[in-house]
Structures are given as structure tokens and as C-alpha cells.
Amino acid sequence: MGYIVRLNALKQRLEVEKPGLGLARVLVRFEDGRTIELDAHRVEPNCFSVIVGTRVYEFDCDIQNGDIELHFGNEPLIVSVLDEREALLQQAKEGAAAQGGEVTVTAPMPGKVVAVLVAKGEKVEKGQGLAVIEAMKMENELKSPIEGVVLKIFAQEGQALEGKAPLITIGQATALP
């Protein structure tokens, strides 16, 4: 199988093959023809023990919307792994978003909405406070990542939130109805 894999600025096209060396062995071929062989065993439901040569690595992993979050030790590494079709779709989507100039601020953690600091249609500066979320006795102000206008408000004061819940969409004034 071929995948487009991205880690930070690094982007590579990889082929994963099963050369029949045993259940857990795979051969990964990079764009430039290099290959590495992995002995990758799932040792816990979300944890892989990987041996490359004689080196032992252990990765915990979690898949979230096409991104694979690998934890090495206590360091999280976010890797995007897409197949060709998904990579094309993603490209198209990013292009559209860039044109629209819309950003939706999401809850960085589960918590409670203490205050919504802006109103629909209001102009906001980059870095201006949009809402205050509370969890574990800590209040956190969410700031606008761009200059623009409040297009949508999802959050309500007093509301309990899941992590990554959408709160407020900021965009260009032209997008207002």
C-alpha cells in the first residue's frame, strides 16, 4: 500500500509491503528507494513494539481523523498518514479554507464555558479573547488566531464541552449573510 506521510515539515511517499517474513514483519520503501524492515508487534491494544535491526522502539498510537498520534516515551508525535485519494481530498479542502479565510476555534480540553466574550458580527483583533473555558479549577481564555469578524457562535455560557468541540468561527466580513 502507498501512503503520503507527513511529520511536521517532512513529507514522504511510502510503500508498505509484506514480504512474507512472518506476520509482524513489513518492508517500508521510501520515495528515494531506501527501504527499512520493521518487526512491528502490537503488544497492547494501542501499543506497538518495533524492532529495526536490533534497536527496540515502543510506540503508543491513536488514530484521529487520519492523523496518527504516536507517543514515543512521553513525547507525542503527530503524523498524518493518507492514501492517494485522501491526500487529494485534503489538498482540495485546504485550498478552499485558505480562500475562505475561516477559522473555527475549538475547545482545547473538555470543560465548561464560563463566558463568551464576543457577539455575532463583532469585529475582533488577532489575539483578542473570545471565550473563557474552565476545567479542573483553572480558567483559560481562548484567543482569536486571526483578525476578522465573528461568523458563528456555537458555545453557550454554562455549557459543558467535550475536547475539540467547536466554539466560535472567525472569518471575513464578506462571509456574513
Partner 1 sequence: MNIKKVLIANRGEVAARIIRTLKEMGVASVAVFSEPDRHSLHVRMADEAVGLEGTTSRETYLDVEKILAAARKTKAQAIHPGYGFLAENPEFAERLEEEGIVFIGPKPEAIRKMGHKTTARQLMTEAGVPVIPGTLEPVRTLEEVQRLAEKTGYPLLIKAKAGGGGKGMRIAEGMNDLASAFRSAASEALQAFGDGDVYLEKLVSKPRHIEIQVIADTFGNTFHLLERECSMQRRHQKVIEETPSVVLDDTMRERMGEMAVRAAKAVGYEGAGTIECLVDENRNFYFLEMNTRLQVEHPITEAILGVDLVRMQVAIARGERLSLDQPNIKGKGHAIECRIYAEDPDNGFLPSPGLIRSFRVPGGPFVRLDSGVFEGAKVPIYYDPIIAKLIVWDETRPLAIKRMVRALGELKIRGIRSNVSFLLDVIQSKAFQTGDYDTRFLDTHWPELKEESEKELPPEDVILATAATVRFRQEQIQRGLGQRRAAGAQASFWRYTPWKALR
Question: Which residues are at the interface with partner 1 (CB under 8 A)?
Answer: 1, 3, 5, 7, 10, 12, 14, 16, 24, 26, 28, 30, 34, 36, 38-52, 54-63, 68, 70-77, 79, 81, 108-112, 135-138, 140, 160, 163
Closest CB 118 distance from partner 1, rounded Å: 21
Q: Whose Cβ is closer to partner 1: residue 66's or residue 100's?
A: 66
CB atoms within 10 A of CB 144: 20
Q: Whose Cβ is closer to partner 1: residue 7's or residue 115's?
A: 7
Is 150 in contact with 171 (CB distance < 8 Å)? no
Q: Whose Cβ is closer to partner 1: residue 65's or residue 99's?
A: 65
Close Cβ partners of 78 (under 8 Å, ≥ 6 residues apart): 7, 67, 68, 69, 70
CB atoms within 10 A of CB 9: 5
Closest CB 85 distance from partner 1, rounded Å: 13
For 112-159, the DSSP string reads: EEEEE---TT-EE-TT-EEEEEEETTEEEEEE-SSSEEEEEE---TT-
Under DSSP, the state recorded for 67 is E
Closest CB 34 distance from partner 1, rounded Å: 8
Is 27 in contact with 37 (CB distance < 8 Å)? yes
Closest CB 126 distance from partner 1, rounded Å: 17
Q: Whose Cβ is closer to partner 1: residue 20's or residue 73's?
A: 73
Q: Whose Cβ is closer to partner 1: residue 51's or residue 146's?
A: 51
